[in-house]
Amino acid sequence: MALAAPRFHIEHIAFSERDVTLRLPFRFGAVTVTACPQVYVRARIRFEDGRTSEGCSAEMMIPKWFDKNPALSNAQNFEQLRQALRNAREAYTAPGPAQGAWDHFAEHYDDVLATGLRQGLLPLVASYGPALIDRAVLDALCLHLGCSFAEAMAMNAAGIDLARHDLAPDLADFDLPSFLARQRPRTRIAARHTVGLADAIRDGDLPADQLPTDGLPTSLEAAIARYGHRHFKLKLSGDTPADLQRLGRIAEVIEGRAELVTLDGNEQYADAAAFADFLDAFLAAPALRGLVERTVFIEQPIARAHALDHAMHATVERMPLLIDESDATLDSFQQARALGYTGVSSKSCKGFYKSIVNAARCAQGRARGEALFLSGEDLTMQAGIGLQQDLALVGWLGLDHVERNGHHYVNGMAALPGDEQATLLALHPALYAHSEGAARLRIVDGQIDLASLAAPGFGTGRAGAGVRWDAMRSL
Protein backbone atom coordinates (compact mmCIF):
# COMPACT_ATOMS: atom_id res chain seq x y z
CA MET A 1 0.00 0.00 0.00
CA ALA A 2 1.38 3.40 -1.00
CA LEU A 3 2.39 5.77 1.78
CA ALA A 4 2.34 9.54 1.79
CA ALA A 5 6.08 10.11 1.57
CA PRO A 6 7.41 11.54 4.85
CA ARG A 7 8.90 14.99 4.43
CA PHE A 8 12.08 16.05 6.16
CA HIS A 9 15.10 18.33 6.10
CA ILE A 10 18.62 16.91 5.72
CA GLU A 11 20.20 18.42 8.77
CA HIS A 12 23.76 17.08 8.77
CA ILE A 13 26.04 14.98 6.55
CA ALA A 14 29.49 13.75 7.61
CA PHE A 15 32.16 11.75 5.79
CA SER A 16 34.77 9.34 7.15
CA GLU A 17 37.37 7.12 5.50
CA ARG A 18 39.29 3.94 6.20
CA ASP A 19 42.00 2.39 4.04
CA VAL A 20 41.49 -0.99 2.40
CA THR A 21 44.51 -3.05 1.35
CA LEU A 22 43.99 -5.76 -1.24
CA ARG A 23 45.36 -9.22 -0.53
CA LEU A 24 45.69 -9.77 -4.29
CA PRO A 25 46.27 -7.10 -6.95
CA PHE A 26 43.30 -6.50 -9.23
CA ARG A 27 43.92 -5.39 -12.80
CA PHE A 28 41.24 -4.01 -15.06
CA GLY A 29 42.09 -2.17 -18.25
CA ALA A 30 45.36 -0.29 -17.84
CA VAL A 31 45.38 -0.04 -14.04
CA THR A 32 46.28 -2.46 -11.25
CA VAL A 33 44.82 -1.65 -7.83
CA THR A 34 46.51 -2.76 -4.61
CA ALA A 35 44.89 -0.39 -2.08
CA CYS A 36 42.34 2.40 -1.90
CA PRO A 37 40.13 4.22 0.61
CA GLN A 38 36.57 3.34 1.52
CA VAL A 39 34.31 6.26 2.39
CA TYR A 40 31.46 6.15 4.92
CA VAL A 41 28.61 8.66 5.01
CA ARG A 42 26.37 9.61 7.95
CA ALA A 43 23.22 11.63 7.34
CA ARG A 44 20.84 13.03 9.96
CA ILE A 45 17.35 13.98 8.84
CA ARG A 46 14.74 16.00 10.76
CA PHE A 47 11.05 15.42 10.18
CA GLU A 48 8.36 18.08 10.31
CA ASP A 49 7.37 17.01 13.82
CA GLY A 50 10.93 17.57 15.07
CA ARG A 51 11.97 13.92 15.33
CA THR A 52 15.33 12.93 13.83
CA SER A 53 16.86 9.80 12.39
CA GLU A 54 20.39 8.90 11.27
CA GLY A 55 21.42 6.66 8.39
CA CYS A 56 24.68 5.59 6.81
CA SER A 57 26.26 4.25 3.63
CA ALA A 58 29.68 3.15 2.41
CA GLU A 59 31.52 2.77 -0.89
CA MET A 60 35.02 2.07 -2.17
CA MET A 61 36.87 4.90 -3.93
CA ILE A 62 38.21 3.02 -6.95
CA PRO A 63 40.80 4.86 -9.05
CA LYS A 64 40.72 4.87 -12.87
CA TRP A 65 37.10 3.80 -13.20
CA PHE A 66 35.03 6.94 -12.72
CA ASP A 67 37.60 8.95 -14.68
CA LYS A 68 40.16 6.95 -16.68
CA ASN A 69 42.27 9.95 -17.70
CA PRO A 70 45.83 8.55 -17.53
CA ALA A 71 47.17 12.02 -16.67
CA LEU A 72 45.46 11.82 -13.27
CA SER A 73 47.12 10.04 -10.38
CA ASN A 74 45.22 7.71 -8.08
CA ALA A 75 45.38 10.38 -5.40
CA GLN A 76 43.79 12.88 -7.78
CA ASN A 77 41.02 10.36 -8.58
CA PHE A 78 40.31 10.01 -4.86
CA GLU A 79 40.17 13.77 -4.45
CA GLN A 80 37.70 14.00 -7.36
CA LEU A 81 35.35 11.67 -5.49
CA ARG A 82 35.76 13.64 -2.26
CA GLN A 83 34.86 16.80 -4.16
CA ALA A 84 31.77 15.08 -5.55
CA LEU A 85 30.72 14.26 -1.99
CA ARG A 86 31.28 17.82 -0.83
CA ASN A 87 29.29 19.18 -3.78
CA ALA A 88 26.34 16.95 -3.00
CA ARG A 89 26.46 17.74 0.72
CA GLU A 90 26.34 21.46 0.00
CA ALA A 91 23.32 21.00 -2.26
CA TYR A 92 21.38 18.60 -0.02
CA THR A 93 21.84 20.63 3.17
CA ALA A 94 21.04 24.03 1.62
CA PRO A 95 18.06 25.84 3.21
CA GLY A 96 14.74 24.87 1.72
CA PRO A 97 11.38 23.26 2.45
CA ALA A 98 10.96 19.79 3.93
CA GLN A 99 10.75 17.23 1.12
CA GLY A 100 10.48 13.52 0.50
CA ALA A 101 13.61 11.44 -0.22
CA TRP A 102 13.07 11.38 -4.00
CA ASP A 103 12.60 15.15 -4.16
CA HIS A 104 15.86 15.74 -2.29
CA PHE A 105 17.59 13.74 -5.05
CA ALA A 106 15.61 14.99 -8.04
CA GLU A 107 15.66 18.69 -7.14
CA HIS A 108 19.47 18.74 -7.04
CA TYR A 109 20.20 16.27 -9.84
CA ASP A 110 20.92 18.79 -12.61
CA ASP A 111 22.69 21.29 -10.36
CA VAL A 112 25.07 18.70 -8.90
CA LEU A 113 26.08 17.53 -12.39
CA ALA A 114 26.48 21.13 -13.57
CA THR A 115 28.65 22.04 -10.56
CA GLY A 116 30.82 19.02 -11.23
CA LEU A 117 31.15 19.91 -14.90
CA ARG A 118 32.41 23.40 -13.97
CA GLN A 119 35.03 21.73 -11.77
CA GLY A 120 36.09 19.30 -14.48
CA LEU A 121 34.29 16.31 -12.97
CA LEU A 122 32.77 13.78 -15.36
CA PRO A 123 29.09 12.90 -14.74
CA LEU A 124 30.08 9.50 -13.30
CA VAL A 125 32.32 11.26 -10.79
CA ALA A 126 29.77 13.96 -9.93
CA SER A 127 27.07 11.30 -9.37
CA TYR A 128 29.18 9.55 -6.73
CA GLY A 129 28.24 12.12 -4.07
CA PRO A 130 24.46 11.87 -4.47
CA ALA A 131 24.70 8.08 -4.78
CA LEU A 132 26.13 7.74 -1.26
CA ILE A 133 24.08 10.49 0.34
CA ASP A 134 20.82 9.15 -1.11
CA ARG A 135 21.55 5.74 0.41
CA ALA A 136 22.35 7.21 3.83
CA VAL A 137 19.20 9.36 3.69
CA LEU A 138 17.01 6.40 2.72
CA ASP A 139 18.58 4.31 5.48
CA ALA A 140 17.59 7.02 7.97
CA LEU A 141 14.06 7.08 6.54
CA CYS A 142 13.71 3.27 6.69
CA LEU A 143 14.95 3.18 10.27
CA HIS A 144 12.49 5.93 11.20
CA LEU A 145 9.62 3.92 9.66
CA GLY A 146 10.88 0.59 11.01
CA CYS A 147 10.89 -0.95 7.53
CA SER A 148 13.38 -2.58 5.18
CA PHE A 149 14.46 -1.22 1.80
CA ALA A 150 12.07 -3.61 0.03
CA GLU A 151 9.17 -2.56 2.24
CA ALA A 152 9.99 1.11 1.72
CA MET A 153 9.99 0.63 -2.05
CA ALA A 154 6.72 -1.34 -2.00
CA MET A 155 4.91 1.56 -0.31
CA ASN A 156 6.99 4.17 -2.16
CA ALA A 157 8.13 5.76 1.09
CA ALA A 158 10.67 7.79 -0.89
CA GLY A 159 7.85 9.45 -2.86
CA ILE A 160 9.32 8.60 -6.27
CA ASP A 161 7.25 10.50 -8.83
CA LEU A 162 8.72 10.54 -12.32
CA ALA A 163 6.34 13.29 -13.42
CA ARG A 164 7.93 15.68 -10.93
CA HIS A 165 11.21 17.20 -12.06
CA ASP A 166 10.82 15.51 -15.49
CA LEU A 167 13.94 13.40 -15.15
CA ALA A 168 12.59 10.43 -17.15
CA PRO A 169 10.03 11.74 -19.67
CA ASP A 170 10.02 8.40 -21.50
CA LEU A 171 8.30 6.90 -18.44
CA ALA A 172 5.53 9.50 -18.27
CA ASP A 173 2.85 6.86 -18.94
CA PHE A 174 4.48 4.10 -16.87
CA ASP A 175 2.64 3.01 -13.70
CA LEU A 176 5.60 3.26 -11.34
CA PRO A 177 3.66 2.75 -8.06
CA SER A 178 2.31 -0.58 -9.34
CA PHE A 179 5.79 -1.58 -10.52
CA LEU A 180 7.27 -0.82 -7.09
CA ALA A 181 4.52 -2.73 -5.31
CA ARG A 182 4.88 -5.80 -7.57
CA GLN A 183 8.59 -6.36 -6.91
CA ARG A 184 9.32 -9.51 -4.94
CA PRO A 185 12.79 -9.37 -3.37
CA ARG A 186 14.95 -12.45 -3.62
CA THR A 187 16.16 -14.26 -0.52
CA ARG A 188 19.22 -15.71 -2.33
CA ILE A 189 21.36 -14.52 -5.24
CA ALA A 190 24.24 -16.09 -7.17
CA ALA A 191 27.66 -14.48 -6.84
CA ARG A 192 29.11 -13.97 -10.33
CA HIS A 193 32.84 -14.35 -9.80
CA THR A 194 35.01 -11.85 -11.67
CA VAL A 195 38.29 -13.02 -13.17
CA GLY A 196 40.58 -10.00 -13.42
CA LEU A 197 43.35 -9.65 -15.98
CA ALA A 198 46.11 -10.31 -13.45
CA ASP A 199 44.29 -13.17 -11.71
CA ALA A 200 45.77 -16.63 -11.44
CA ILE A 201 43.58 -19.17 -13.22
CA ARG A 202 45.08 -22.30 -11.70
CA ASP A 203 47.02 -22.89 -8.50
CA GLY A 204 50.67 -22.53 -9.33
CA ASP A 205 50.23 -19.74 -11.87
CA LEU A 206 51.85 -17.23 -9.52
CA PRO A 207 55.18 -17.64 -7.71
CA ALA A 208 54.80 -18.68 -4.09
CA ASP A 209 56.58 -15.56 -2.87
CA GLN A 210 53.84 -13.39 -4.46
CA LEU A 211 50.95 -15.14 -2.70
CA PRO A 212 49.28 -14.15 0.59
CA THR A 213 49.49 -16.65 3.43
CA ASP A 214 46.00 -16.03 4.83
CA GLY A 215 44.56 -19.40 3.80
CA LEU A 216 42.10 -17.89 1.30
CA PRO A 217 41.87 -18.79 -2.41
CA THR A 218 44.43 -17.20 -4.71
CA SER A 219 43.25 -18.61 -8.07
CA LEU A 220 40.03 -19.10 -10.01
CA GLU A 221 40.40 -22.84 -9.50
CA ALA A 222 40.68 -22.44 -5.72
CA ALA A 223 37.81 -19.91 -5.53
CA ILE A 224 35.50 -22.39 -7.26
CA ALA A 225 36.54 -25.12 -4.86
CA ARG A 226 35.83 -22.95 -1.81
CA TYR A 227 32.71 -21.04 -2.87
CA GLY A 228 31.09 -23.33 -5.44
CA HIS A 229 30.77 -20.63 -8.12
CA ARG A 230 28.72 -21.36 -11.24
CA HIS A 231 28.45 -17.79 -12.58
CA PHE A 232 31.49 -15.95 -13.96
CA LYS A 233 32.51 -12.57 -15.36
CA LEU A 234 35.67 -12.52 -17.46
CA LYS A 235 37.65 -9.35 -18.13
CA LEU A 236 39.02 -8.62 -21.62
CA SER A 237 42.23 -6.74 -22.38
CA GLY A 238 41.55 -5.69 -25.99
CA ASP A 239 44.40 -7.89 -27.25
CA THR A 240 42.41 -10.51 -29.16
CA PRO A 241 45.04 -13.27 -29.46
CA ALA A 242 45.98 -12.94 -25.78
CA ASP A 243 42.34 -12.81 -24.71
CA LEU A 244 41.40 -15.92 -26.71
CA GLN A 245 44.30 -17.85 -25.20
CA ARG A 246 43.38 -16.77 -21.69
CA LEU A 247 39.68 -17.50 -22.23
CA GLY A 248 40.67 -20.97 -23.39
CA ARG A 249 42.51 -21.60 -20.11
CA ILE A 250 39.54 -20.29 -18.12
CA ALA A 251 37.14 -22.44 -20.14
CA GLU A 252 39.12 -25.54 -19.15
CA VAL A 253 38.67 -24.70 -15.46
CA ILE A 254 34.96 -23.81 -15.54
CA GLU A 255 33.88 -26.48 -18.03
CA GLY A 256 31.10 -28.57 -16.51
CA ARG A 257 30.51 -25.97 -13.77
CA ALA A 258 29.59 -22.73 -15.52
CA GLU A 259 25.88 -22.04 -15.82
CA LEU A 260 26.35 -18.48 -17.05
CA VAL A 261 29.21 -16.28 -18.24
CA THR A 262 29.52 -12.57 -19.04
CA LEU A 263 32.46 -10.80 -20.65
CA ASP A 264 33.62 -7.30 -19.74
CA GLY A 265 35.20 -5.34 -22.58
CA ASN A 266 36.22 -2.69 -20.06
CA GLU A 267 36.35 0.05 -22.71
CA GLN A 268 39.34 -1.64 -24.34
CA TYR A 269 38.13 -1.27 -27.95
CA ALA A 270 38.48 2.04 -29.79
CA ASP A 271 35.40 1.61 -31.94
CA ALA A 272 32.77 -0.83 -33.21
CA ALA A 273 35.07 -2.24 -35.90
CA ALA A 274 37.81 -3.11 -33.42
CA PHE A 275 35.32 -4.86 -31.18
CA ALA A 276 33.77 -6.70 -34.15
CA ASP A 277 37.18 -8.24 -34.88
CA PHE A 278 37.29 -9.71 -31.37
CA LEU A 279 33.68 -10.91 -31.52
CA ASP A 280 34.27 -12.64 -34.88
CA ALA A 281 37.25 -14.50 -33.47
CA PHE A 282 35.53 -15.34 -30.18
CA LEU A 283 32.40 -16.76 -31.80
CA ALA A 284 34.42 -18.78 -34.31
CA ALA A 285 36.99 -20.34 -31.94
CA PRO A 286 36.33 -24.11 -31.74
CA ALA A 287 37.94 -24.40 -28.31
CA LEU A 288 35.60 -21.75 -26.90
CA ARG A 289 32.31 -23.21 -28.18
CA GLY A 290 31.09 -24.16 -24.71
CA LEU A 291 32.06 -20.74 -23.33
CA VAL A 292 30.26 -18.96 -26.17
CA GLU A 293 27.09 -20.97 -25.52
CA ARG A 294 27.05 -19.81 -21.89
CA THR A 295 27.93 -16.16 -22.55
CA VAL A 296 24.80 -14.06 -22.10
CA PHE A 297 26.18 -10.56 -22.78
CA ILE A 298 29.31 -8.45 -23.21
CA GLU A 299 29.71 -5.35 -21.08
CA GLN A 300 30.96 -1.95 -22.30
CA PRO A 301 33.39 -3.02 -25.03
CA ILE A 302 33.94 0.43 -26.55
CA ALA A 303 35.63 3.36 -24.82
CA ARG A 304 33.05 5.69 -23.31
CA ALA A 305 34.22 8.65 -25.39
CA HIS A 306 32.94 6.90 -28.53
CA ALA A 307 30.64 4.13 -27.30
CA LEU A 308 27.46 6.06 -28.04
CA ASP A 309 28.68 7.20 -31.45
CA HIS A 310 28.19 3.83 -33.15
CA ALA A 311 25.04 1.93 -34.09
CA MET A 312 25.40 -1.59 -32.68
CA HIS A 313 22.20 -3.27 -33.93
CA ALA A 314 24.01 -5.82 -36.11
CA THR A 315 26.38 -6.72 -33.27
CA VAL A 316 23.56 -7.11 -30.76
CA GLU A 317 21.89 -9.64 -33.04
CA ARG A 318 24.97 -11.82 -32.46
CA MET A 319 25.59 -11.00 -28.77
CA PRO A 320 23.65 -8.75 -26.34
CA LEU A 321 25.59 -5.68 -25.19
CA LEU A 322 25.37 -3.83 -21.86
CA ILE A 323 26.53 -0.29 -21.05
CA ASP A 324 28.30 0.45 -17.80
CA GLU A 325 30.79 3.33 -17.91
CA SER A 326 28.65 4.96 -20.63
CA ASP A 327 25.69 4.98 -18.24
CA ALA A 328 26.71 8.40 -16.96
CA THR A 329 23.35 10.20 -16.67
CA LEU A 330 19.71 9.29 -16.21
CA ASP A 331 19.09 9.40 -19.96
CA SER A 332 22.20 7.42 -21.04
CA PHE A 333 20.35 4.12 -21.32
CA GLN A 334 17.84 5.76 -23.63
CA GLN A 335 20.67 6.95 -25.87
CA ALA A 336 22.22 3.47 -25.85
CA ARG A 337 18.90 1.77 -26.66
CA ALA A 338 18.58 3.89 -29.79
CA LEU A 339 21.93 2.45 -30.92
CA GLY A 340 20.95 -1.15 -30.26
CA TYR A 341 22.20 -1.80 -26.72
CA THR A 342 19.73 -3.83 -24.69
CA GLY A 343 21.37 -3.99 -21.25
CA VAL A 344 22.40 -1.55 -18.53
CA SER A 345 24.20 -2.06 -15.23
CA SER A 346 22.85 -1.55 -11.74
CA LYS A 347 25.71 -0.12 -9.71
CA SER A 348 25.31 1.42 -6.27
CA CYS A 349 28.09 3.93 -6.94
CA LYS A 350 25.94 5.36 -9.77
CA GLY A 351 22.88 5.74 -7.53
CA PHE A 352 20.04 3.43 -6.58
CA TYR A 353 17.43 5.80 -8.06
CA LYS A 354 19.09 5.31 -11.45
CA SER A 355 18.80 1.54 -11.00
CA ILE A 356 15.10 1.89 -10.23
CA VAL A 357 14.47 4.16 -13.23
CA ASN A 358 16.34 1.80 -15.56
CA ALA A 359 14.53 -1.22 -14.11
CA ALA A 360 11.25 0.52 -14.92
CA ARG A 361 12.49 1.12 -18.48
CA CYS A 362 13.36 -2.56 -18.83
CA ALA A 363 9.91 -3.57 -17.56
CA GLN A 364 8.22 -1.13 -19.93
CA GLY A 365 10.34 -2.29 -22.86
CA ARG A 366 9.75 -5.98 -22.19
CA ALA A 367 6.00 -5.33 -22.10
CA ARG A 368 6.43 -3.95 -25.63
CA GLY A 369 8.44 -6.94 -26.80
CA GLU A 370 11.97 -5.52 -26.36
CA ALA A 371 14.66 -7.79 -24.90
CA LEU A 372 15.90 -5.28 -22.33
CA PHE A 373 17.73 -6.31 -19.17
CA LEU A 374 19.40 -4.96 -16.05
CA SER A 375 22.47 -6.60 -14.53
CA GLY A 376 24.19 -6.16 -11.16
CA GLU A 377 27.79 -5.07 -11.87
CA ASP A 378 29.88 -4.00 -8.88
CA LEU A 379 32.85 -6.14 -7.92
CA THR A 380 34.50 -3.78 -5.44
CA MET A 381 31.88 -3.95 -2.67
CA GLN A 382 33.40 -4.80 0.69
CA ALA A 383 31.79 -6.75 3.51
CA GLY A 384 29.80 -4.32 5.63
CA ILE A 385 27.39 -1.48 4.89
CA GLY A 386 28.26 -1.02 1.21
CA LEU A 387 27.88 -4.71 0.39
CA GLN A 388 24.63 -4.99 2.33
CA GLN A 389 23.03 -2.01 0.61
CA ASP A 390 24.00 -3.19 -2.87
CA LEU A 391 22.67 -6.68 -2.13
CA ALA A 392 19.43 -5.21 -0.78
CA LEU A 393 19.06 -3.29 -4.04
CA VAL A 394 19.82 -6.14 -6.47
CA GLY A 395 17.74 -8.54 -4.39
CA TRP A 396 14.77 -6.16 -4.57
CA LEU A 397 15.31 -5.78 -8.32
CA GLY A 398 14.83 -9.55 -8.58
CA LEU A 399 18.19 -10.24 -10.25
CA ASP A 400 19.34 -13.86 -10.39
CA HIS A 401 23.04 -13.06 -10.08
CA VAL A 402 25.34 -10.18 -9.23
CA GLU A 403 29.01 -9.53 -9.91
CA ARG A 404 30.69 -10.03 -6.55
CA ASN A 405 34.39 -10.31 -6.01
CA GLY A 406 35.49 -7.90 -3.28
CA HIS A 407 35.75 -10.89 -0.94
CA HIS A 408 38.39 -12.47 -3.23
CA TYR A 409 40.71 -9.47 -3.28
CA VAL A 410 40.31 -8.31 0.33
CA ASN A 411 40.60 -10.34 3.53
CA GLY A 412 37.01 -9.81 4.64
CA MET A 413 36.59 -7.36 7.50
CA ALA A 414 40.17 -7.75 8.74
CA ALA A 415 40.63 -3.96 8.64
CA LEU A 416 37.59 -3.35 10.91
CA PRO A 417 37.72 -3.29 14.71
CA GLY A 418 36.71 -6.59 16.29
CA ASP A 419 33.54 -5.24 17.91
CA GLU A 420 32.36 -3.83 14.57
CA GLN A 421 32.89 -7.23 12.96
CA ALA A 422 31.01 -8.92 15.83
CA THR A 423 28.03 -6.58 15.45
CA LEU A 424 27.77 -7.23 11.71
CA LEU A 425 27.99 -10.98 12.31
CA ALA A 426 25.20 -10.78 14.86
CA LEU A 427 22.98 -8.65 12.62
CA HIS A 428 23.56 -10.78 9.52
CA PRO A 429 24.43 -14.33 10.65
CA ALA A 430 23.62 -15.97 7.30
CA LEU A 431 25.31 -13.28 5.19
CA TYR A 432 28.66 -13.45 6.99
CA ALA A 433 30.87 -16.10 8.55
CA HIS A 434 34.04 -15.94 10.62
CA SER A 435 37.11 -17.75 9.32
CA GLU A 436 40.86 -17.23 8.96
CA GLY A 437 40.72 -14.61 11.71
CA ALA A 438 38.07 -12.26 10.26
CA ALA A 439 34.38 -11.94 9.47
CA ARG A 440 33.70 -12.28 5.75
CA LEU A 441 31.00 -12.78 3.13
CA ARG A 442 29.50 -16.26 3.22
CA ILE A 443 29.05 -17.92 -0.19
CA VAL A 444 27.72 -21.48 -0.27
CA ASP A 445 27.25 -23.37 -3.55
CA GLY A 446 27.81 -20.07 -5.32
CA GLN A 447 24.85 -18.43 -3.54
CA ILE A 448 24.55 -15.52 -1.08
CA ASP A 449 21.80 -15.56 1.56
CA LEU A 450 19.90 -12.24 1.61
CA ALA A 451 17.35 -13.04 4.32
CA SER A 452 18.82 -10.72 6.98
CA LEU A 453 18.42 -7.73 4.66
CA ALA A 454 14.68 -7.80 5.36
CA ALA A 455 15.43 -6.11 8.71
CA PRO A 456 14.78 -2.37 9.23
CA GLY A 457 17.04 0.06 7.40
CA PHE A 458 18.56 0.14 3.96
CA GLY A 459 20.54 -3.05 4.40
CA THR A 460 21.81 -2.00 7.82
CA GLY A 461 19.63 -3.78 10.39
CA ARG A 462 19.84 -1.04 13.00
CA ALA A 463 20.87 2.60 13.40
CA GLY A 464 24.58 2.97 12.81
CA ALA A 465 24.90 -0.76 12.11
CA GLY A 466 27.70 -1.00 14.65
CA VAL A 467 30.09 1.14 12.58
CA ARG A 468 33.02 2.41 14.67
CA TRP A 469 33.17 5.98 13.44
CA ASP A 470 35.92 6.76 15.95
CA ALA A 471 38.15 4.17 14.23
CA MET A 472 38.18 6.12 10.95
CA ARG A 473 39.56 9.45 9.87
CA SER A 474 37.00 12.20 9.47
CA LEU A 475 36.93 14.31 6.31
427 and 315 within one domain: yes
217 and 69 within one domain: no
Q: What are phi and psi of 175, to 5 degrees?
A: -85, 80
Q: Give per-residue pLDDT as tens, 101-158.
A: 999 999 999 999 999 999 999 999 999 999 999 999 999 999 999 999 999 999 999 9
Cα–Cα dist 47/54, whole Å: 11
Residue 248 belongs to some domain of the structure: yes
| Beta strands at 295-299 and 321-323: parallel, antiparallel or unpaired | parallel
Q: Output the pLDDT for position 122.
A: 98
Q: What pLDDT band is residue 17 in, cutting at 50, 70 and 90?
A: very high
Residue 180 belongs to some domain of the structure: no
Q: Output the pLDDT for position 29.
A: 65
Residue 113 belongs to some domain of the structure: yes
272 and 228 within one domain: yes
Cα–Cα dist 277/253, whole Å: 25
Q: Assign 169 to helix, strand or coil.
A: helix
- For residue 218, give the DSSP letter: -
Residue (of 292, 293, 291, 234) closest to 265 by Cα position: 234
Q: Looking at 196-275, which runs of residues are DSSP E strands?
A: 231-235, 260-264
Q: Output the pLDDT for position 144.
A: 98
Mean pLDDT computed over every residue of the chain: 95
pLDDT at residue 270 is higher than 80:
yes
CATH number at residue 111: 3.30.390.10
258 and 159 within one domain: no
426 and 370 within one domain: yes
Q: Which runs of consecutive H residues, i.e. helices, occur in 380-472?
A: 385-397, 406-409, 418-427
445 and 409 within one domain: yes
Counted residue by residue, the chain has a size of 475
Residue 2 belongs to some domain of the structure: no
CA–centroid distance for 420 within its chain: 23
Cα–Cα dist 410/190, whole Å: 19
CATH number at residue 307: 3.20.20.120
Residue (of 384, 382, 407) closest to 459 by Cα position: 384
162 and 296 within one domain: no
204 and 147 within one domain: no
Q: What pLDDT band is residue 33 in, cutting at 50, 70 and 90?
A: confident
Q: Output the pLDDT for position 25.
A: 85
Residue 173 belongs to some domain of the structure: no
Among the candidates 131, 166, 201, a domain finishes at: 166
126 and 206 within one domain: no
217 and 126 within one domain: no
194 and 105 within one domain: no
Residue 53 belongs to some domain of the structure: yes
Task: Tell me the β-bridge partners of 348.
Answer: none
Average pLDDT value for residue range 6-17: 98
Cα–Cα dist 75/77, whole Å: 5
Residue 177 belongs to some domain of the structure: no
pLDDT at residue 1 is higher than 60:
no
192 and 158 within one domain: no
Q: Give per-residue pLDDT as tens, 408-454.
A: 999 999 999 999 999 999 999 999 999 999 999 999 999 999 999 99
Q: What pLDDT band is residue 3 in, cutting at 50, 70 and 90?
A: confident
Give residue 56's domain range: 8-166
Number of domains in the chain: 2
Q: Output the pLDDT for position 94.
A: 97
pLDDT at residue 379 is higher than 80:
no
Residue 172 belongs to some domain of the structure: no
